[in-house]
Amino acid sequence: MRRFLILSIFVTVLLISGCNGQNTPSTETTPPASVEYIENKGSDTIVNLALAWAERYQTVKPEVRISVTGGGSGTGITALINGTVDIANASRQIKSEEQEAAKAAGYNPQEFVIARDAIAIIVHPSNPVDHLTLEQLSKIYKGEITNWSELGGEDREIVCLSRETNSGTHVYFLEAVVRMGSGEDKSIFTANALLLPSSEGIIAEVKDNPNAIGYDSLGYITDDVKLVAVSSLETPDMFILPSLETVNNNSYLISRNLYMYTLDVPTGAVKDYMDWILSAEAQQIVSELGFIPNIN
- Residues 222 and 143 reside in one and the same domain: yes
Task: Give CA–CA dist 135/133, Å, rounded.
Answer: 5
Q: pLDDT (tens digit, 9 = 90+) per residue, 222-270?
A: 999 999 999 977 677 899 999 989 998 889 999 999 999 999 999 999 9
- Residues 69 and 147 reside in one and the same domain: no
Taking each helix axis from N to C end, the angle separating 268-277 and 280-288, rounded to the nearest 10 degrees, works out to: 60
For residue 44, is it within any domain? yes
- Residues 190 and 278 reside in one and the same domain: no
For residue 12, is it within any domain? no
Phi, psi torsion values for 30, nearest 5 degrees: -65, 130
- pTM (two decimals): 0.82
- The DSSP call for residue 177 is I
For residue 295, is it within any domain? no
- Residues 137 and 227 reside in one and the same domain: yes
For residue 48, is it within any domain? yes
Phi, psi torsion values for 26, nearest 5 degrees: -75, 135
- Residues 122 and 251 reside in one and the same domain: yes
- Residues 234 and 153 reside in one and the same domain: yes
Burial (CB count <10 Å: 0-12, 13-18, 19+), residue 175? middle
- Residues 182 and 94 reside in one and the same domain: no
For residue 5, is it within any domain? no
First-to-last C-alpha distance (Å) of the chain: 87
Q: Please check the confidence at residue 289 and state whether its pLDDT lies above 50.
A: yes
- The DSSP call for residue 175 is I
Q: pLDDT (tens digit, 9 = 90+) per residue, 28-82?
A: 444 446 899 999 999 999 999 999 999 999 999 999 999 999 999 999 999 999 9
CB 142 within 8 A of CB 99: no
Task: Give CA–CA dist 229/231, Å, rounded.
Answer: 7
SS3 call for 228: strand
- Residues 130 and 247 reside in one and the same domain: yes
- Residues 74 and 201 reside in one and the same domain: no
Domain count, the chain: 2
Please work out, in degrees rounded to the nearest 5, the angle formed at the alpha carbon of residue 123 by the alpha carbons of 117 and 128.
Answer: 130
Task: Give CA–CA dist 251/245, Å, rounded.
Answer: 9
For residue 14, is it within any domain? no
- Residues 271 and 163 reside in one and the same domain: no
Of the candidates 54, 82, 78, 58, the one whose C-alpha atom is nearest the C-alpha of residue 68 is 54
Q: What is the CATH number of the domain that holds 212?
A: 3.40.190.10
For residue 199, is it within any domain? yes
DSSP string, 28-81: --PPPPP-EEEEEEE-HHHHHHHHHHHHHHHHH-TTEEEEEE-S-HHHHHHHHH
For residue 31, is it within any domain? no
Residues 6+ apart with CB under 8 A from 93: 111, 257, 259
- Residues 222 and 244 reside in one and the same domain: yes
- Residues 165 and 175 reside in one and the same domain: yes
The domain containing residue 89 runs over which residues?
36-116+257-288
Task: Give CA–CA dist 211/223, Å, rounded.
Answer: 17
pLDDT of residue 235: 74
